[in-house]
């Protein structure tokens, strides 16, 4: 089955992510739980989703995080299915994952339940609706921690209220090259949004990819938070397009074709180099400078040739072996 | 310099405010700073740093019989140090002490939005009514007057207690 990142990723908005933080009432949060409580909570949540009346469970599987390797866990981070923190601490943790990997529910991360839904392109409301339905399904059989004043109760007070973190991954090479991105980061922080690197909190930007997300969760409804994020996203898209139009056409084409040339011919390709060139290819495809058989290829390959993904594919930790294989994949797909 | 609020610990947080041209300075210990909403919840970073540098001030303040959450056993100091609540009951136990920080963090302290099925009928009815009012405001803005009229009727019914959710 194809993965969520194999469609709708060719625009400035590469993907949309919705995350809902939920907890069971009357049980300590994951940070203060003992192992037997953890086992019991995991079981309750898994039963609620997998044995519920919803047709959803057909497409879901439960992953026992204890039993997977470091490389597998890191590869999940690279595919944006789980958080880096969840990959680091996997003891007695469970993950409920859909076949296309667009739905991932982390059990025992910072909260008992972290519902995450990913979609290619800008699909804030559609993506939220899927997460919302899973949340409603859970609340049919579980008592979710909620307070009339503070809303959904979460381990970290920054998530209180709706527990909703909505984010869009934006490809902003033009705004990055003019330095305007740092001014925008300042500006959005004043209206309750934040811009981060592609792997979230604390991660730097690679391939000109940035995550724009809501920061405030208390006192603002889900709909208003999504409306705000959508409206700022639309403005960012426009700014990126206008800035891009002002670039010197011939130098832009030159840098796109040089990157294309390298990806079509390289025999060794490191992960950092790949990210840099894929970003150029992505601009080339969106401006019609180059044509690929499938315009989702840049993002698909970018995700599938990340270090842990390659280590998993080759069953080897050898970096040069990975660089050879990565170069081979790009040569085949870029021609 | 000692904390001007409790007078027991060294002041380690200095807050300078200028309101309508009048400046004022507050000198607080880390514990009182958190309780007044001037620090904490920065992913534990600031408080961890402060509590390791000025470890004795944070440790000295709470007494051995400091109030503990009945459900998870966390104290207010535990929450202030880690920036994380121990369980959902902590918010009820330590709610008043956390309110200032929540106000600073979110700008508001009253939830608006989805309500779970387990919430009381009253809470759900209030959320339903708020949702209708939001929709009405939007319908008026976008000049969808027929929709607005229908919403207005639904609001009247909801306010009269005939919740048709």
Tell me phi and psi for residue A64, to 5 degrees.
-85, 105
Q: Do A155 and B85 touch (CB under 8 A)?
A: yes
A125 confidence band (pLDDT: 50, 70, 90): very high
Asked if pLDDT for residue B139 goes beyond 50, the answer is yes
Q: How far is A328 from chain B (nearest CA, A)?
A: 42
A201 confidence band (pLDDT: 50, 70, 90): low
Report the residue of chain B nearest A135, measured CA to CA: B116
Per-residue pLDDT at A335: 78
Per-residue pLDDT at A277: 96
A317 confidence band (pLDDT: 50, 70, 90): confident
Q: How many CB pairs under 8 A join A and B?
A: 134
Segment A57-77 mean pLDDT: 94
Q: Name which residue leads in pLDDT, B53 or A124.
A: A124
Segment A131-147 mean pLDDT: 94
- C-alpha of B118 from chain center: 22
Q: Do A220 and B41 touch (CB under 8 A)?
A: no
A217 CB near a chain B CB, below 8 Å? Answer: yes
**Contact criterion met (CB below 8 Å) for A133 and A117:** no
- CATH T-level assignment (fold) for domain B1-63: Wheat Germ Agglutinin (Isolectin 2); domain 1 (3.30.60)
**Predicted-complex ipTM score:** 0.84
**Contact criterion met (CB below 8 Å) for B62 and B49:** no
A57 CB near a chain B CB, below 8 Å? Answer: no
**Contact criterion met (CB below 8 Å) for A104 and A98:** yes
**Contact criterion met (CB below 8 Å) for A189 and A152:** no
Report the residue of chain B nearest A150, measured CA to CA: B111
Asked if pLDDT for residue B19 goes beyond 80, the answer is no
Which of B46, B75, B79, B87 is best to mutate for the A interface (most A CBs within 10 A)?
B87
Q: Of the candidates A195, A178, A168, A135, which has an alpha carbon nearest to the alpha carbon of residue A11?
A: A168
pLDDT digits (tens, 9 = 90+) for A80-100: 999 999 999 999 999 999 999
Per-residue pLDDT at A170: 96
Q: Do B113 and A153 touch (CB under 8 A)?
A: no
pTM of the predicted structure, to 2 decimals: 0.84
Instruction: Name the residue ranges covered by the structural domains of chain B.
Output: 1-63, 68-110, 121-159
Strands A209-214 and A151-152: unpaired
DSSP B9-75: SB--EEEEEEETTEEEEEEE-HHHHHHTTSS--STTHHHHHHHHHTHHHHHHSS-TT--B-TTT--B
Q: Do A156 and B41 touch (CB under 8 A)?
A: yes
pLDDT digits (tens, 9 = 90+) for B81-106: 889 999 999 999 998 888 888 888 89
**B41, burial (CB in 10 Å: exposed 0-12, middle 13-18, buried 19+):** buried
**B41: its two tokens:** 């919840």
B102 CB near a chain A CB, below 8 Å? Answer: yes
B87 CB near a chain A CB, below 8 Å? Answer: yes
Segment B8-27 mean pLDDT: 74
Q: Of the candidates A76, A128, A74, which has an alpha carbon nearest to the alpha carbon of residue A101?
A: A76
A156 CB near a chain B CB, below 8 Å? Answer: yes
Per-residue pLDDT at A12: 96
A157 CB near a chain B CB, below 8 Å? Answer: yes
Q: Find the helix or strand (DSSP H, E) in which A323 lies.
A: helix A319-334
Q: Do A132 and B114 touch (CB under 8 A)?
A: yes
């Amino acid at each position: 089955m194809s993965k969520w990142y194999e469609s709708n990723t060719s625009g400035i908005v590469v993907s949309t992510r919705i995350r809902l933080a939920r907890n069971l009432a009357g049980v300590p949060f994951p940070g203060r739980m003992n192992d037997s409580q953890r086992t019991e909570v995991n079981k309750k949540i898994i039963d609620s989703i997998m044995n519920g009346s919803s047709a959803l469970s057909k497409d879901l599987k439960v992953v026992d995080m204890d039993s997977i390797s470091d490389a597998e866990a890191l590869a999940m981070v690279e595919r944006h299915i789980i958080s880096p923190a969840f990959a680091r601490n996997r003891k007695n943790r469970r993950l409920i994952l859909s076949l296309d990997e667009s739905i991932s529910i982390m059990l025992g991360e910072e909260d008992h339940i972290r519902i995450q839904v990913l979609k290619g392109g800008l699909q804030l409301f559609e993506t939220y609706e899927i997460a919302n339905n899973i949340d409603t399904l859970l609340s049919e059989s579980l008592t979710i921690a909620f307070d009339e004043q503070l809303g959904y109760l979460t381990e970290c007070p920054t998530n209180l209220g709706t527990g909703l973190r909505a984010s869009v991954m934006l490809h902003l090479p033009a705004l990055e090259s003019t330095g305007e991105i740092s001014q925008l980061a300042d500006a959005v922080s004043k209206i309750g949004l934040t811009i981060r690197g592609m792997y979230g909190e604390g991660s730097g930007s690679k391939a000109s990819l940035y995550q724009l997300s809501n920061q405030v969760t208390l006192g603002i409804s889900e709909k208003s938070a999504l409306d705000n994020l959508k409206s700022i996203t639309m403005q960012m898209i426009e700014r990126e397009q206008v800035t891009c139009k002002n670039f010197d056409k011939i130098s832009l084409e030159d840098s796109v074709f040089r990157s294309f040339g390298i990806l079509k011919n390289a025999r060794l390709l490191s992960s950092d180099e790949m990210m840099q060139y894929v970003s150029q290819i992505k601009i080339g495809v969106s401006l019609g400078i180059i044509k690929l058989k499938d315009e989702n290829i840049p993002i698909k390959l970018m995700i599938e040739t990340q270090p842990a993904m390659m280590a998993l594919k080759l069953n080897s930790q050898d970096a040069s072996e990975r660089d050879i294989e990565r170069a081979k994949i790009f040569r085949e797909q870029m021609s | 310099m000692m904390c001007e609020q409790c007078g027991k610990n060294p002041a380690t947080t200095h807050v300078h405010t200028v309101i309508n041209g009048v400046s004022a300075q507050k000198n607080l210990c880390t514990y009182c700073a958190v309780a007044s909403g001037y620090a904490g919840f920065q992913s534990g970073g600031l408080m961890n740093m402060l509590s390791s540098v000025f470890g004795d001030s944070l440790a000295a303040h709470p007494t051995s019989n400091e109030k503990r959450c009945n459900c998870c056993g966390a104290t207010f100091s535990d929450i202030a140090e880690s920036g994380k609540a121990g369980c959902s009951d902590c918010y009820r136990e330590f709610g008043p002490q956390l309110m200032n920080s929540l106000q600073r963090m979110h700008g508001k302290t009253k939830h608006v939005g989805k309500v779970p099925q387990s919430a009381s009928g009253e809470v759900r009815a209030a959320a339903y009514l708020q949702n209708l009012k939001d929709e009405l405001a939007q319908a008026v803005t976008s000049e969808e007057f027929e929709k607005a009229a229908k919403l207005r009727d639904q609001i009247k019914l909801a306010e009269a207690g005939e919740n048709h959710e």
